[in-house]
Amino acid sequence: MFFDVATLDGGLCYKLMTSLVVPRPIAWLVTNNGEGGQNAAPFSFFNCFSGNPPVLCIGIGRPAERRKDSLANIERDREFVVNMVSEALAERMNVTATDFPPDWSELSVAGLETVPSEKISVPRIAASPAAFECRLRELIPVGHGSGNMIVLADVVAIHALDEAITNVERCHVDGARLGIIGRMQSPGRYVRTRDTFDMKQLGFEQWQAANPGTGRPG
């Protein structure tokens, strides 16, 4: 099926993008609200875009009536935490997706405890299996007057579940022990990440040895 993006309105294009680019990791953002408390909200337009230096990218859309609290807080303080979401935390993550008024604490409503970060002022969600302390690198506006924003962030510290680290010196992680979930189609479909499989990546000489007699393609 062919879809000409130029003929689709924003809502239909959003449906296609979020149904076909799957699964997507979830950035459970915690930001300071400027009044001594914190805001928490999940975003699935998110991924790691560089390992050295470590850079994360989050896409934040703008509701019709006002900009999202998370974006306003990031613009003001330039610090935030990206928490990963485990299956055990899925329901509470879903609570924080509710569009509460700015002076409500999603963390309190969802019954989530936080612990201080090491390098920034924003705390992290204590029960999250992995968390990234971030400082804002750049804000990139998207679209013509849409208010959508791409947030580029430098990771300054990483926290991970002790049981998931199989070799500290080599930074080996057993992802199955993290139990992280991903986002599928909107509005409410998710996926577990326990069903995985392995494939060995071969170098060119190894590939040639495994495929004798194969010549250069024309």
Q: 11-46, pLDDT tens digit by residue?
A: 899 899 999 999 999 999 999 999 999 999 999 999
pTM over 0.85: yes
What local confidence, expressed as pLDDT, does residue 66 receive? 63
What local confidence, expressed as pLDDT, does residue 187 receive? 77
Residues 197-213, mean pLDDT to the nearest whole number:
90
CB of 66 closer than 8 Å to CB of 163 = no
Distance between terminal CA atoms of the chain? 30
CB of 84 closer than 8 Å to CB of 127 = no
Confidence of residue 64 (pLDDT cuts 50, 70, 90): low
CB of 46 closer than 8 Å to CB of 54 = no
DSSP code, position 120: S
**Across-strand partners of 131?**
83, 159
> pLDDT, tens digit, for every residue of 86-144?
999 999 999 999 988 878 899 999 999 999 999 999 999 999 999 999 999 999 999 76
Sign of CA dihedral 116, 121, 125, 127: negative
